Homo-oligomer: A and B are copies of this chain.
Amino acid sequence: MQAVGIIVEYNPFHNGHAYHLQQAKQQTGADCVIAVMSGHFLQRGEPALVSKWSRTRMALAAGADLVVELPYAFSTQKAETFASGAISILESLHTDFVCFGSENGNIDSFTRTADLLEAHESELSALIQQEMKKGNSYPKAASNAFLQLFTEAPIDLSQPNNVLGMSYVAAIKKQHASIKPYTITRIQSHYHDDSLSSSFISSATSIRKAIFDSSSHGDLSKHMPVSTANELTAYKQAHGQFHHWEHYFPFLKYKLLTTPLYDLQRIYEIEEGIEHRLLSYISSATSFEDFLTNVKTKRYTRTRLQRMCVHLLTNTTKSEMQQADPYIRLLGMSKTGQGYLKTIKKKLSLPIVSTVSQCKLKEIDTDIKATHVYSMPFQEPLRSQFMKQEYTQPPIIWP
């Protein structure tokens, strides 16, 4: 039995994801699709639109066989750390392939890029430092440095999706993992596109925008499987709203305004005195958007600030993150997934968690805390029920 891994957020699941999932299975000839999916807080430093359980059902309905949570300590991080956690989990699950989407669909270009980066690590690192001293953000500095060093770069590292793909390949090399990287050509729509495409594939960004834009009356069901559309409708009905940074802003404000400087400095990603800048804008900010717009600089990008704010919101400290190791939290399984799990269960190199209430792993505390924070905008008793589910919910068995 062969397995292909995909690394996803599904925020929300859409037709592009369905295509990726099917192609990953088809092109690698795998029997089992394992999705490593970010939990409640995502790589761009945002709360997921709907809970991980709802997104797990979306994935299972679309054909995923095993859905595993990418823990907070990896899901809310820059590409390198995000990829490192996801690859560790897939490798521990003895996944044969990892398959990601890319513009050019050519895995060699990613492998060559990863080789180049490894061979010129110290020169590149020095160049990145130089670029950052000019006031550039890390992603911009890395991209500039890379272009200076390799005039004919095999892939365009100014594209976030390429950076992620490259990070998966680099993580495999670094971990000496036996998992084989594979890429399939993405069809239409770029990651950052923010208006709905007229075709049946649109970016998750544009779908989220349409969901929150009250003036948008476009039919979203065209852009996603029926199962996803139904899941979104059911979630909104049961929870009253989709999750949005603005719902968490009162808590971020409360946190910043009641925490002394020396405690703010213990928070992960709070560096270089940025806490002073955050404090000088927080009290007068009337919304998260207003706050970010004021705090943002060339060096501190929106994504970097959002991640920082997520760590502030969840009170995640530097020492907490340093100690974080990956683990396998099962969120959902098809029959095939269950069968696959049986064959590898005794050979797992990472601890596995089915139900939180029976788990003694210290790493899980950070994820429980993240779910506590994620549940904060709910009214009671919904909030308590939501948290109870976090403790007692076994993996979803599908169908």
- Interface of A toward B, CB cutoff 8 Å: 250-251, 253-255, 257-260, 263, 283-287, 314-315, 369, 372-373, 376, 380-381, 384, 387-388
Contact = CB atoms under 8 A, between A and B. Distances in A.
B387 A286 contact: no
Given A259-B315, A315-B259, A384 B254 contact: no
A376 B285 CA distance: 13
28 contacts: A250-B376, A251-B254, A253-B376, A254-B254, A254-B372, A254-B373, A254-B376, A255-B258, A257-B369, A257-B372, A257-B373, A258-B314, A258-B315, A258-B369, A258-B372, A258-B373, A259-B315, A260-B315, A283-B384, A283-B387, A284-B384, A284-B387, A284-B388, A285-B384, A286-B380, A286-B381, A286-B384, A287-B380
A372 B369 CA distance: 24
Copies of the protein in its oligomer:
2
Nearest to A320: B260
A259 B267 CA distance: 12
A284 B388 CA distance: 8
Nearest to A390: B283
Contacts of A258: 255, 314-315, 369, 372-373
A373 B384 CA distance: 23
A255 B254 CA distance: 9
A384 to B, nearest CB: 5
Contact of A283 (B255, B263, B314, B372): B372
A55 to B, nearest CB: 23
Contacts of A253: 376
A334 B8 CA distance: 66
Given A283-B384, A286-B380, A286-B384, 15 more contacts: A250-B376, A251-B251, A251-B254, A254-B255, A254-B372, A254-B376, A255-B258, A257-B369, A257-B373, A258-B314, A258-B369, A258-B372, A283-B387, A284-B388, A286-B381
